[in-house]
Amino acid sequence: MRKRRAAARERGRKLVEAARARARKLVEAARARARTLLEVASRPRVRLVVKEAKPSTKRRTKATPKPKVRPVKPTPSPDYESAFLTALRKVAGGSRGLISIGDVRSASGLPKPIFDALALRLMRERRLVLHEHDFPQSLSAAKRAELVEDAKGRVFVGMALPLLTAEPYESKLLAKAKLYGAGNPVRIASLRKDVGLTPGEFDLALGALQRLGKVALYRDDNRATAKNEGAYFVSGEPRHILYVR
């Protein structure tokens, strides 16, 4: 009986020791897994992005030699003023009455900025008469764009050739200028007083003589002698001296 009890106690002790050994192994395994997870969590994360290669849609072709480019000669700039005046005379038909700006613009075929700038310059040179609209505020934006407008906001609806012509005054002005001596500088302000023409007649004749190449006009750069009173203006720039050619 005693031997049986001793054997049972021995089996129980061995079972307890085996259970304790298994428990210790489980605890150690759990601790090892926890340490591994902590180490992995503390490492810096690196994100790898892998781009998928897209199939190329370009067809492989043989390289072709580049064509030889010949130098292009520059084309001369068109004579806008000649086109403007030709259209003006065509629409006017010999009349010096008021004609529509839209009709002249259509006949010339010039772009609006060039057409408007020419009309305003010819008006300043007294080679063209522009008729101003008396109430431009009543015009729509589209209608206003068809007309000519200057920097002061004045809107012009019609134009006409000046009633004066330069022919009767050219010879008189040129003869008077020759009295100063060929090749000598002539003060335009002094000539204006001596020739006996109105300001409009004088400017009309002098502009015609310059375009014909009979006189050359220059600006006086000496501030002491340059005075714009009595000068002749070309595109807004004063001319104080002329030479007879």
Per the prediction, the chain carries an average pLDDT of 79
In whole angstroms, give the CA distance from residue 207 to residue 106: 27
Percentage of the chain lying above the pLDDT 90 cut: 13
Q: Residue range 3-28: average pLDDT?
A: 81
The three-class DSSP label of residue 217 is strand
Straight-line distance from the first to the last Cα atom of the chain, in angstroms, rounded to the nearest whole number:
159
Q: Are the CB atoms for 105 and 158 separated by under 8 Å?
A: no
What residues have CB less than 8 Å from 185, skipping those under 6 apart? 218, 241, 242, 243
Of 11 and 113, the one with more pLDDT: 113
0.75 exceeded by pTM: no
Looking at residue 45, what is its pLDDT? 60
What residues have CB less than 8 Å from 154, skipping those under 6 apart? 132, 136
Cβ atoms < 10 Å from Cβ of 241? 19
Position of tokens 């022919």? Answer: 167
pLDDT at 64 over 80: no
In whole angstroms, give the CA distance from residue 124 to residue 234: 8
